[in-house]
Chain A
């Protein structure tokens, strides 16, 4: 069964990590890969220039048996080798989730849904 969070209880109390946190780690880890297109909307900036959220990273996570399964939809910037970018995303996402959340990642599925023009990296970023 899928859970909404990771839960660890010991004598001090309970620690939970929401699935949203796992998804955020995955998104940030993916966005750090060179060649990935970041959504213009994340910083509240101009949405929709390249088709709104389509140009960014979207994440689905599923927690089951203390393991995380991650599914990402990404857009790759024009000029980068798609398979190499997707491979780096898989690697980064798995590494970051395991390192930061202490959760084992069973799989990272990556769907490349779009190629976008190279970004200028100045539009509405925080």
Chain B
């Protein structure tokens, strides 16, 4: 945590969301967030896939993902959870309380996901 003598450092929710999004893109088997994929979205667009809730020093992240056929879904989801948690904690010093992963779709490798992009706006079945 920053030294109080030097003033405060605030980290916006967007920063945490971006870190989560980039962390996801580093995992194999995710269709809609791969680097180089035209559907790879950072910044604003990332909010379609990642919800971040910062409560004091505690962060809860929910990621909505499309997995590529052939990859073991639970293993991919676990990797996403671990990567998001470790990257956010390493980069921001915030405590990650939970990472929720909702696997919403599955596509063949190479199948375009962006043409279905609008469906993501509804935000799935988030309560």
Indicate with 1 or 0, residue by residue over B80-123, a CB within 8 angstroms of chain A CB atoms. 01100100000000000011111111111011100100000000
* Interface hit among B2-10, B11-19, B37-45, B64-72: B64-72
Task: Give the total number of A-B pairs whose CB atoms are below 8 A apart.
Answer: 72
Contact residues of B: prevailing secondary structure: mixed
Indicate with 1 or 0, residue by residue over B40-80, a CB within 8 angstroms of chain A CB atoms. 00000000000000000000110000010111111001100
Q: Which chain B positions have C-beta within 8 A of A101?
A: 73-74
Q: Are B98 and A13 in contact (CB under 8 A)?
A: yes
Q: How far is the CA of A102 from the CA of B76 in the complex (A)?
A: 12
* Interface hit among A18-26, A76-84, A104-112, A113-121: A18-26
Q: Are B106 and A102 in contact (CB under 8 A)?
A: no
Q: Are B72 and A102 in contact (CB under 8 A)?
A: yes
Q: Which chain B positions have C-beta within 8 A of A21?
A: 67, 73, 103-106
A-B contact pairs, 24 of them (CB 8 A): A4-B125, A8-B74, A12-B78, A12-B81, A12-B82, A12-B85, A12-B98, A13-B99, A15-B77, A15-B102, A16-B100, A16-B101, A16-B102, A18-B104, A20-B105, A20-B106, A21-B67, A21-B106, A24-B69, A25-B69, A28-B108, A100-B70, A101-B74, A102-B72
B residues in contact (CB < 8 Å) with A: 60-61, 67, 69-74, 77-78, 81-82, 85, 98-108, 110-112, 115, 125
A residues in contact (CB < 8 Å) with B: 4-5, 8, 12-18, 20-21, 24-25, 28, 44, 99-102, 126
